[in-house]
Every structure is written in structure tokens, then in C-alpha cells.
Amino acid sequence: MPLMEELKEKYADRDVVFFALYVREPHAGETGFKPYRKHESYVHKMEYARELARVKALTLPVLVDGMDETNHIELGNLPNFVYIVNMDGKVEYKATWLDADSVDEVLAEMVTADDPSRPVRKTMDSSKVGTAI
């Protein structure tokens, strides 16, 4: 998620809010993830979300969905989804994986349209950074 952190910093002085929604442990018990199991309670889920934030050194807020995953289901139940929602609540962009270049392009267009006196240009080039996750 370093690319989301970079985008968060870029748009810090604009009306853009970034957050992660932790929904479930996607690879519980699989190779490489043996210590992680399916959530047994909301407290257990919160512990994993805190660990994710710590391990990934996240500064953006991590919202934790309920055990029934109501929010994730309402958003389409997509894996690793990214949404950009305008100030009217309309979805402007969605994807099942983070494409920082596309997110930057859409945000630059949106914030420039909101305040043409302060234009923002797309500057992300994730090919120089590597993997988004």
C-alpha cells in the first residue's frame, strides 16, 4: 500500500480522504500465512487489522468491517477493491486492484474540476516503484 500512502500525501491539501477497509483475512491458513486464521470474533478481526496497519506502516485510517461484512458486500464484494467517490456520493472510478496511475489521473481531474485555480497534474509512475501491495 505504499502507493496509496504516496497518493494520500499528494492530495493532502485537497478535499480527498483515503482509507482502507479491512474485511477478512484473505489467505487464512495458506502457505505463507499459516499464523493467520479466519476471524473468530470482532476483537480478533481488530487485532489483525491493527497488525496490518503496523506491518505496512499505514498512516491512512483502516476501517474494520463487521463480522457479517455488510459494507464489503454492499460495495460489490470485490477483492482488493479501490473506489473513488465524488462529494455527491457518486462512484467515479472502481477497480479490483490498485492502479495508482489511474487513481492519480482520476483524482487530478476531479480536484482540478473542483478548483480550476489550483490545477493538479497526474505525477504517479508506479512502474518506478514496483508492486502496489
Give the Cα separation of 82 and 7 in Å (integer).
13
Quick: pLDDT tens for 83-108: 898 888 888 898 887 788 899 999 99
Instruction: Provide the mean pLDDT of the chain.
Output: 86
Residues in the chain, pLDDT under 70 = 1, 126-133
Predicted local confidence at residue 130, as pLDDT: 45
Nearest to 122 by CA among 110, 103, 100, 104: 104
Residues of the chain above pLDDT 90, percent: 38
Q: Which residues fall within 8 angstroms of residue 68, CB to CB, at 6 or more apart?
A: none
Distance CA 14, CA 25 (A): 32
List of domains in the chain: 2-128 (3.40.30.10)
Helix axes 2-10, 100-114, angle to 10 degrees: 20
Beta bridge partners of 7: none
- pLDDT score of 128: 56
